[in-house]
Structure 1
Amino acid sequence: MPLGSGLGGGSSNAATTLIALNKLWDIRFTLKELASFSVKIGADIPAFIMGKTAIVEGIGDILHPIQRKEKWYLIVYPLIQILTKNMFKSPYLKKNNSKKSMSSLLKLPFNNDFENIVKKDSRIIKELISMLSFYAPTRITGTGSCIFSEFDNKESAQKIFSLIPKNMKKFIAKSMNTSLVHHFCKKINFIY
């Protein structure tokens, strides 16, 4: 994943490495044990170690597992890097949001506090979100800069794929409630 894209590439790579080393070195830490000390390495790593769809709080260390209908996503990387640390320093970031229960969160429309900040800073991202929102629900990933549009099927995502400017990276992906790493590890009895 490109640096500054908001796709969690570094965190997911770290999680996969910890899971693999746990097995290769026969350390036998449980996933919860790996997740608990992984926050010392970086944010969001516990979410990737646990490998399940979840609402995540804190620095990626407080997980509330949920089951969601698997969907198809068109992901666009507009070749713009946005550093997470800069987003958290933004004077526009709301830091006093009231805490909501999980059941109420799941009923509310999705909201990402970073999206308005990113749109203020990048005309390109603002225009892409506006254009793609005409066809499907569209948001930024994490602190950005990738944009994703949600579809019920692959064919719908493919129709919009060709509308993305050729100078941007783009791909279509299917969501999963359990990560591929966990599917693979279960198949070969790899996870403790």
Structure 2
Amino acid sequence: MSELTLPAPAKLNRLLHITGRRADGYHELQTLFQFLEHGDILHFQRRDDDRIRLTPALDGVAERDNLIVRAARLLQDETGCRHGGDRRGIDITLDKRLPLGGGLGGGSSNAATTLLALNCLWQLGLSLDHLAALGLRLGADVPVFVQGHAAWAEGIGERLTPVALDSPWFVVVHPNVTVATASVFGAAQLTRDTPPISMARALQEGFDAWRNDCEPTVRRLYPAVAEALDWLSEFAPARLTGTGACVFCQVAHEHEASRILQRVGEGWQAFKARGCNVSPLHQALGPYDQLA
């Protein structure tokens, strides 16, 4: 196999609690990750040299900082296929559909898709756990995309327990502002002391009790996000995902999601998607043990 085209799905944080702050500045979290049947698309073509080439460039993101390129180079360095007689490279084309900095995990999902695709195309034979550990070096959200199952997450988001969540339709709205994650986590008013709860309790309480501890702070700092939350709440309870800027609501049927989309005003981006517990990436690749 010399080429692959694979999805890099979005995620939602259906619940996000901040339970503490570590000495290194990272925050301790409890969250529920679920994937969406919507996201970016990546096209991979194996090269005969060790060059990593990504097109098109993303505005405002230097190539060296792009998580796709960083994931490919990390895999080269980890497996020794960047030097000597076993050089392996890749041409990658990104079909970008998710907004940058929207809280949907786009960059992390891109990195995970790259790790799994290159493990296959380069015939590296690394385990899923090995790839997830590499992904953690790129970002706290990368492992859940590598593992590919909806999950209860703790720590900084890297300690994962697979869960089975309901799979409604979601309407996701991006109010065309960029939320700086650092500004949210650095805000003095951010809730950092939510008492930890068990996964069983969180699942038992369900959606009506779920919340995002970042939402009050993001509302204050970014009025456009507050406006989108208020507007979407006219149709169904709305939540922030991650630190935003995307907000979402859930509905039972696709036609309800379509009806809401028809009313989205100019200047906002929006889409509808079904939630899913197995990542579309893993559905596209097939059982992982057949790829090693």
Smaller-chain TM-score range?
over 0.9
Aligned residues: CA RMSD = 1.6
Aligned to 1:85: 182
Q: Which amino acid aligns with 1:115?
A: E
Distance 1:77 1:150 in 2: 15
Aligned to 1:32: 129
Structure 1 residue 187 displacement after superposition = 6.8
Q: Which amino acid aligns with 1:124?
A: A
CA contact (8 A) 2:128 2:288 kept: no
Q: Which amino acid aligns with 1:149?
A: C
Alignment of 1:1-40 (within 5 A): 1-40=98-137
Distance 1:170 1:43 in 2: 26
Aligned to 2:255: 155
Identify, as 1 or 2, the structure richer in strand.
2
Structure 1 residue aligned with 2:266, among 140, 143, 166? 166
Matched, 1:118 2:215: no
CA contact (8 A) 1:136 1:151 kept: yes
1:31-53 Cα offsets, whole Å, 9 max, x none, are: 11111221111120000001111
Unmatched segments (≥5 aa) in structure 1: none
1:121-166 Cα offsets, whole Å, 9 max, x none, are: 1222212212221211211111000011101111011111122112
Matched, 1:104 2:204: no
Aligned to 2:172: 75
Aligned to 1:142: 242
1:81-120 Cα offsets, whole Å, 9 max, x none, are: 0122221111111222221111111233111011111111
68 and 29 in structure 1: CA distance in 2 versus 1, 3 angstrom threshold: same
Alignment of 1:31-70 (within 5 A): 31-70=128-167
CA contact (8 A) 2:179 2:244 kept: yes
State the TM-score, normalized to the length of structure 1: 0.93
Identify, as 1 or 2, the structure richer in helix.
1
Bigger Rg over Cα: 2
SS where residue 260 of structure 2 aligns?
Answer: helix
Q: How many corresponding residue pairs?
A: 192
State the TM-score, normalized to the length of structure 2: 0.63
Unmatched segments (≥5 aa) in structure 2: 1-97
Q: Percent of aligned pairs with the same residue?
A: 36
SS where residue 286 of structure 2 aligns?
Answer: helix
Q: Which amino acid aligns with 2:165?
A: R
CA contact (8 A) 2:170 2:272 kept: yes
1:21-76 Cα offsets, whole Å, 9 max, x none, are: 11122121111111122111112000000111112222331112111121111111
Q: Which amino acid aligns with 1:13?
A: N
Distance 2:261 2:226 in 1: 18
34 and 54 in structure 1: CA distance in 2 versus 1, 3 angstrom threshold: same
Distance 1:188 1:62 in 2: 20
Aligned to 2:229: 129
Aligned to 1:95: 192
Distance 2:277 2:291 in 1: 17
Distance 1:191 1:79 in 2: 39
Structure 1 residue 174 displacement after superposition = 0.9
CA contact (8 A) 1:68 1:177 kept: yes
